[in-house]
Amino acid sequence: MFRRDWTGRNPVSKCIIGSLVMGADSDPGAPSAVPWRKVLYERQPFPDNYVDRRFLEELRRNVGVRRYRYWPVVREAGLVTQQLSCVAAFLTLWWYMYQGQLYPFTLLLAGLLCALLGYGLYEALGGPRTEGRTRLADLQSAAIFLAFTFGFSPVLKTLTESVSTDTVYAMSALMLLAHLVTFPYAQPSPPGSLSLNAALFGSVCLASRLPGALHTFAMVTCALLVFALWPCLLHRLRDRAPRGFPWAAALVSLGGIGGLASQSPGGAVLLALAQLALTLLCPLLLLWLQEHKDNIHGPWDEAEIHEDLSRFLQ
């Protein structure tokens, strides 16, 4: 006895396209005296791949497909471009320190001012707080991090002494690329552990090539502000101030381009072209591909159990 499994587990159901073309109603030798029934276990005088004309009545196309609009997609693409600019801005600051054009005290002071302004804006926007977290707890966490980072700065400075500079730069580039690829753009607050760890690892590798331990401390602190705290503020802006979010993302993007232009005009041009492509062209490509989307659903799909089975687990 053959088993006609219409849930897609039978190899016959995998050849459904052939069944669509070779319906037995068009076969002169197909029996017509006995009505065909779509049942799982029953001996019937029909071939195993037999279907009648009602088979295509259950055909459905593009069930549950989400339709996108251009400008909302452009707005969400701003997260990608601003994160790319954050990496460019961090590399620019590191290059300034490496060349001796930026002092660590200046970077620490600017980072402190940005942190205070960002924290004030974060609190002003409101929103749910983690249970048990207060402003005093946030201050304690920041103080502990700064103390540990400052204490371990000499260790971080000598961390890659036995590694060649080319290897350090290659590891940093790879880690920053991994940060961009694994960054949770849909939910950037808090940043994903893999993305944040990759960014911090790349930052430590670069900071270890700076002249002194204070430079390393300033660079690691800057990396925390750029890769850990800024995404949290940006996510709060997107949720609480949707009109201000595009302006903030555009400001960061322009800042990254401007900073890179001060050191490498050609790199700034490439960054600007990449941002334009990600922000304007990729959404167009997505909408064009969506027009050609054609998913078919029918009786050959896997069976879905919609009944509540929780009572069997009690």
Q: Tens digits of per-residue pLDDT, 12-49?
A: 343 443 444 344 444 444 445 778 887 777 888 888 87
Q: Residue 5: pLDDT above 70?
A: no
What angle is formed at CA 136 by the lines to CA 134 and CA 140, rounded to 5 degrees? 120
Which residues, in sequence order, are CB contacts of 45 under 8 Å at separation 6+?
A: 31, 34
Q: What is the pLDDT of residue 277?
A: 95
DSSP string across 72-100: HHHHHHHHHHHHHHHHHHHHHHHHHHHTT
**Cα 3 from Cα 1, distance rounded (Å):** 7
Q: What is the mean pLDDT of residues 58-76?
A: 85
Q: Which of 9-18, 148-157, 303-312 has the lowest mean pLDDT?
A: 9-18
Q: At what angle do helices 104-125 and 230-240 cross, to 10 degrees?
A: 30
**Cα 150 from Cα 214, distance rounded (Å):** 8
Tokens of 155: 């260790």
Residue that wins the pLDDT comparison between 283 and 53 = 283
**Cα 278 from Cα 78, distance rounded (Å):** 8
Q: Residue 254: pLDDT above 90?
A: yes
Q: What is the pLDDT of residue 32?
A: 53
Q: What is the mean pLDDT of residues 130-143?
A: 81
Summary mean pLDDT of the chain:
83
Give the confidence band of 91 by pLDDT, cuts at 50, 70, 90.
very high
Q: What is the mean pLDDT of residues 56-85?
A: 87
Tally of CB atoms within 10 A around 287 = 14
Q: Residue 207: pLDDT above 90?
A: yes
Q: What is the mean pLDDT of residues 188-209?
A: 86
From its phi and psi, is residue 64 left (phi > 0), alpha (psi between -120 and 50) or beta?
left
Which residues, in sequence order, are CB contacts of 46 under 8 Å at separation 6+?
A: 24, 30, 31, 36
**Cα 210 from Cα 220, distance rounded (Å):** 11
